[in-house]
Amino acid sequence: MCSPEHFAVEYAINPWMDVTTPVDRELAVKQWDRLRETLVGLGHQVHLLTPEPGLPDMVYAANGAFVVDGSVYGARFKHEQRAGEAAAHHAFYAEQSWRFVAPSETNEGEGDFAYVPEAHGGLILAGHGFRTEIAAHAEAQEVLGRPVVSLRLIDPRFYHLDVALAALDDANVVYFPGAFSAASQRVLTQLFPDAVIADDEDAMAFGLNLVSDGANVVLNSEATRLAGKLKAAGYNPVPVELAELKKGGGSVKCCIAELRH
Question: Could you list the active site residues?
Answer: 160, 254
The reply to whether 14 sits near ligand ARG by the rule CB under 6 A is yes
Among 160, 229, 246, 247, binds ligand ARG (CB under 6 A): 160
**Smaller CB distance to ligand ARG: residue 129 or 248?**
248
CB atoms < 10 A from the CB of 1, how many?
18
Q: How far is the CB of 257 from ligand ARG (least distance, A)?
A: 9
The reply to whether 249 sits near ligand ARG by the rule CB under 6 A is yes
The reply to whether 176 sits near ligand ARG by the rule CB under 6 A is no
The reply to whether 111 sits near ligand ARG by the rule CB under 6 A is yes
Q: Return the residues of window 54-93 that contact ligand ARG according to CB under 6 A.
A: 57, 60, 62-63, 82
The DSSP call for residue 198 is: P
**Smaller CB distance to ligand ARG: residue 9 or 189?**
9
Task: Write the burial class of residue 212 (CB in 10 Å: 0-12 exposed, 13-18 middle, 19+ buried).
Answer: buried
* Helix, coil or strand: residue 28: helix
Q: Determine the Cα–Cα distance for residues 53 and 200; give it in Å rounded to an integer.
A: 35
**Which region among 20-28, 148-156, 197-205, 249-257 touches ligand ARG (by CB under 6 A)?**
249-257
**Smaller CB distance to ligand ARG: residue 93 or 113?**
113
Q: In 3D, which of 112, 125, 72 has the Cα closest to residue 259?
A: 72
Q: How far is the CB of 131 from ligand ARG (least distance, A)?
A: 7
The reply to whether 254 sits near ligand ARG by the rule CB under 6 A is yes
Q: Determine the Cα–Cα distance for residues 251 and 163; give it in Å rounded to an integer.
A: 8
The reply to whether 146 sits near ligand ARG by the rule CB under 6 A is no
Secondary structure E strands in 28-164: 65-68, 71-74, 99-101, 113-116, 123-128, 148-152
Q: Pairing state of beta strands 216-220 and 236-240?
A: parallel
Among 248, 252, 257, 258, binds ligand ARG (CB under 6 A): 248
Q: In 3D, which of 6, 11, 88 has the Cα closest to residue 257?
A: 88
Q: Determine the Cα–Cα distance for residues 184 and 177; give it in Å rounded to an integer.
A: 9
Q: Determine the Cα–Cα distance for residues 83 and 188; give it in Å rounded to an integer.
A: 31
Q: How far is the CB of 245 from ligand ARG (least distance, A)?
A: 9
**Smaller CB distance to ligand ARG: residue 3 or 14?**
14
Return phi, psi of residue 200, to 5°. -55, -45
The reply to whether 163 sits near ligand ARG by the rule CB under 6 A is yes
The reply to whether 130 sits near ligand ARG by the rule CB under 6 A is no
**Smaller CB distance to ligand ARG: residue 82 or 137?**
82
Q: Which residues bind ligand ARG (CB under 6 A)?
A: 13-14, 17, 57, 60, 62-63, 82, 111, 160, 162-163, 248-250, 254
